[in-house]
Amino acid sequence: MIKIENLHKKFGKNKVLSGLDLSIEKSGIFAVLGPNGSGKTTLIKTILGMVVPDEGRIMVGDKPIKGNWKYRQEIDYLPQIANFPGNLKVRELIRMIKDLRQVPSEAEKLISLFKLEPFLDKKLATLSGGTKQKVNIVLTFMFDSPLLILDEPTTGLDPASLIHLKQLIKREKDNGKTILITSHIMHFVAEVADTIIYLLEGEIYFNGSIAALQQKTQQTDLEHAIAAIATSPTDV
C-alpha cells in the first residue's frame, strides 16, 4: 500500500527526515509516534504530497506519487487542525466536499452518529473545538477510501464521541483498509493500533507490534515502553 525509500527533507538547516525507509504492505492500523520535531507531520505530508521531499521515492498503491495527483482520491485525511472557512455553515461545507468528490458518502449516518443535526446551520467560526473535530471526522469517514491518515484524531472529543471514533476505526480496519494514526494519547494508541512506527530525529527507531516493543523495552505497558525508547533510544 505504501512504500517509502531513502526519504530526506530539510527545512533550511533543519534536517527533518534522514534517509527514512518504510514499507506498509498490508491493511491494519499503524501508529506513527515520536516526540515533537521527530518528523511525524513531515512524513505524513510527504505521503499526501503536501511537502516535496529533497530526495527519495514514495509509492502509494503500486505507483510513484510524483506527478500523479490522482492517487490522493484514494486517501481520506483528518488533519490535526482543520482550518475550515469560518463563514460557511456546517451543512454547506459537507455539501461542498460531497460535490467535489462526486462519490457516494455516508454523511447523513455520521451526522446522526455524532449528533451534529443542531449544528448544521451554524457557521463554522461559531463552533467549539470539539464540535469542529466531529465535523472533521464526518468529512474523513464519509467516503470509502482504502487509505486513511488520522493526525491526532481524538483532539477535543467527549467520551461518547471518542467511543464512536474508535468504532469507526475498527470498522474500517475490518473492511481491509490501511490506517495511519498519529497521537500523543497512549491509552488510545494501545487500544486501536496493530503496529507502532516510532520516529526520532527523522529516522525509524522501531517498527513492530506493541507486544514486541514492550518486550524490547522490558516495560509492561505502551506508555512506559514509549518513554523508555524516547529517553534511551540507543539502548532499545
At 59, the amino acid letter reads M
Average of per-residue pLDDT values in the chain: 92
Percent of the chain, pLDDT > 90? 75
Domain residue spans of the chain: 1-37+45-75+191-203, 77-142
H helix or E strand, kind and range, residue 51: none
Q: For residue 210, how many other CB atoms are within 10 A of its CB? A: 19
**Cβ pair 30, 180 in contact under 8 A:** yes
- 10-residue stretch averages of pLDDT, the chain, 236 residues long: 93 91 93 91 93 93 85 90 88 92 90 97 94 95 95 94 97 96 94 95 92 92 90 63
Separation of alpha carbons 147 and 145, rounded Å? 6
Considering the entire predicted model, what is its pTM? 0.92
At 2, the amino acid letter reads I
CATH superfamily of 1-37+45-75+191-203: P-loop containing nucleotide triphosphate hydrolases (3.40.50.300)
